[in-house]
């Protein structure tokens, strides 16, 4: 009798440790923080409720999410990542999937632009409403963005100005290749006037570092520039009032790719009611800019098991960026 009881005690202890690791309030359960998995974790088919392992970029054990891509065996961050990457790239079946995705996405982008050009040529659409965002960038995006910021900070176009502490215009490089779009400022952002500076923001910084990007080289913004009271979802009139600001930011920055964080940002920007899980892993468009979507870091803090899917998403994003920039 005693041996099975010992076994089940050890199993409970192992699950508990895993749970604690995944629920680290600082988000340091982000698996890139933790080296290779312990040998004891390398058992086939963990129970479904154990979810993705928090540790182990090289973990060969995690089952592929149904309908999703296989688990990556190893990250191969293209630029120098802030976090060292442990496993060798040739032990990385997900790399081929990322490359195939990037090729498909490039074709979709070319098709989209050709289609929009035809619409414009036929007089069925005007360039402003379609391809204008990918045209030539302004001569001085830094000055243009500063001027736009000065205009947007005192905005009173919707009711949220009455309850805000600060307008959160956005932050990062005016020449960014990647623009990250969240939902709306939270409490920390409202107090500091900067996007993604709270716990979600710290996790976002780690996610970016995992694909070799520093916060300063991307541009980080939100659908809404002012905090909704009690962090409620944005209301349609607020989105309508605020979206012109985002559109003007995009027209100045002209990122090669947009990444929406979370359901609300994705559904709002893409004008769709499709679920986030169905939108993930594919390329969408805002005018003619390719848009990818992934989980919101606040969601990841509550659901650490989704970090692995996020890792897959951002690796595809990075693969697409590499193709677009090369
Ligand atoms: N959540 C968001 O969507 N945006 C922020 O800026 C911060 C938290
Ligand atoms: N639902 C959301 O609103 N955001 C996520 O990131 C995931 C589910």
Overall number of domains in the chain: 2
Q: How far is the CA of 135 from the centre of ligand 1 (A)?
A: 29
Cα separation of the two ends of the chain: 63
Does 184 sit in the ligand 1 pocket, CB within 6 Å? yes
pLDDT tens for 261-270 read 999 999 999 9
Residue 35 alpha carbon to ligand 1 centre in Å: 29
The answer to whether the CB of 295 is under 6 A from ligand 2 is: yes
> In terms of domains, do 147 and 284 share one?
yes
Single out the residue in 49, 66, 85 at which a domain terminates: 85
Any idea which residue has 């499709």 for tokens? 274
In this structure, what CATH number is given to the domain that contains residue 240? 3.40.470.10
- Which segments in the chain show pLDDT lower than 50? 1, 25-29, 31-88, 131
Ligand 2, atom 3: closest residue by C-alpha: 263
From CA 35, how far away is CA 55, in angstroms rounded? 7
Give the atom of ligand 2 at the shortest distance from the alpha carbon of 298: 6
Q: Are residues 153 and 211 in the same domain?
A: yes
* Residues 107 and 31 grouped into a single domain: no
Instruction: Give yes or no: residues 263 and 204 share one domain.
Output: yes
- Distance (angstroms) between ligand 2 centre and the Cα of 224 equals 17
- Find the domain containing 41 and state its range: 1-85
What is this structure's pTM?
0.75
- Domain stop point among 63, 85, 107: 85
pLDDT of residue 77: 40
Whether residue 215 sits in one domain with residue 184 = yes
Q: Where are the alpha helices (DSSP H) in the chain?
A: 2-22, 94-121, 141-152, 187-192, 199-210, 236-253, 262-270, 276-279, 297-302, 307-325
> Is the same domain home to 15 and 109?
no
Asked whether 307 lines ligand 2 (CB < 6 A), one says: no
In this structure, are 315 and 279 located in the same domain?
yes
Domain co-membership, 136 together with 279: yes
Mutate which of 160, 172, 185, 228 for ligand 1? The one with the most ligand atoms within 8 Å of its CB, which is 185
| Domain limit, last residue, from 85, 117, 150 | 85
Residues 170, 301 share a domain: yes
CB 175 within 8 A of CB 41: no
Q: Please work out whether the CB of residue 301 comes within 6 Å of at least one atom of ligand 2.
A: no
Pairing of strands 284-286, 219-222: unpaired
On whether both 66 and 161 belong to a single domain, the answer is no
Closest CA to 243 of 235, 231, 232, 253: 235
66-113 per-position pLDDT tens digit = 333 433 434 444 444 444 344 445 677 899 999 999 999 999 999 999
Q: Are 99 and 81 within one domain?
A: no
Q: Are residues 46 and 104 in the same domain?
A: no
Whether residue 222 has its Cβ less than 6 Å from ligand 1: yes
């Amino acid at each position: 009798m005693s041996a099975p009881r010992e076994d089940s005690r050890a199993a409970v202890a192992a699950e508990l440790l895993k749970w604690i690791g995944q629920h680290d309030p600082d988000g340091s359960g982000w698996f890139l923080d933790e080296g290779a998995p312990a040998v004891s974790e390398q058992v086939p088919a963990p129970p479904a409720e154990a979810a993705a392992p928090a540790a182990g970029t090289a973990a060969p054990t995690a089952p592929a999410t149904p309908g999703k891509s296989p688990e990556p065996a190893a990250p191969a961050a293209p630029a120098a990542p802030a976090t060292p990457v442990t496993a060798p790239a040739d032990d990385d079946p997900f790399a081929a999937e990322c490359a195939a995705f990037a090729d498909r996405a490039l074709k979709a982008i070319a098709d989209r632009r050709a289609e929009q050009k035809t619409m414009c040529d036929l007089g069925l659409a005007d360039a402003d409403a379609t391809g204008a965002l990918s045209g030539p960038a302004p001569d001085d995006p830094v000055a243009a963005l500063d001027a736009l910021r000065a205009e947007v900070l005192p905005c009173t176009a919707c009711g949220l100005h009455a309850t805000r502490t600060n307008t959160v215009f956005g932050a990062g490089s005016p020449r960014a290749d990647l623009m990250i779009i969240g939902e709306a400022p939270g409490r920390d952002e409202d107090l500091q006037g900067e996007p993604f500076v709270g716990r979600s923001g710290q996790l976002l910084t780690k996610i970016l570092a995992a694909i070799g990007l520093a916060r300063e080289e991307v541009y980080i913004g939100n659908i809404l520039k002012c905090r909704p009271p009690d962090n409620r979802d944005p209301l349609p009139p607020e989105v309508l009032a605020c979206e012109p600001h985002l559109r003007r930011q995009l027209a100045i920055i002209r990122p090669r790719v947009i990444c929406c964080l979370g359901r609300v940002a994705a559904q709002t920007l893409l004008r769709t009611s499709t679920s986030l899980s169905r939108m993930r892993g594919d390329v969408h468009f805002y005018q003619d800019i390719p848009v990818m979507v992934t989980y919101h870091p606040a969601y990841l803090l509550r659901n650490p098991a989704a970090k692995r899917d996020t890792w897959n998403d951002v690796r595809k994003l990075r693969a697409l960026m590499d193709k677009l920039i090369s």
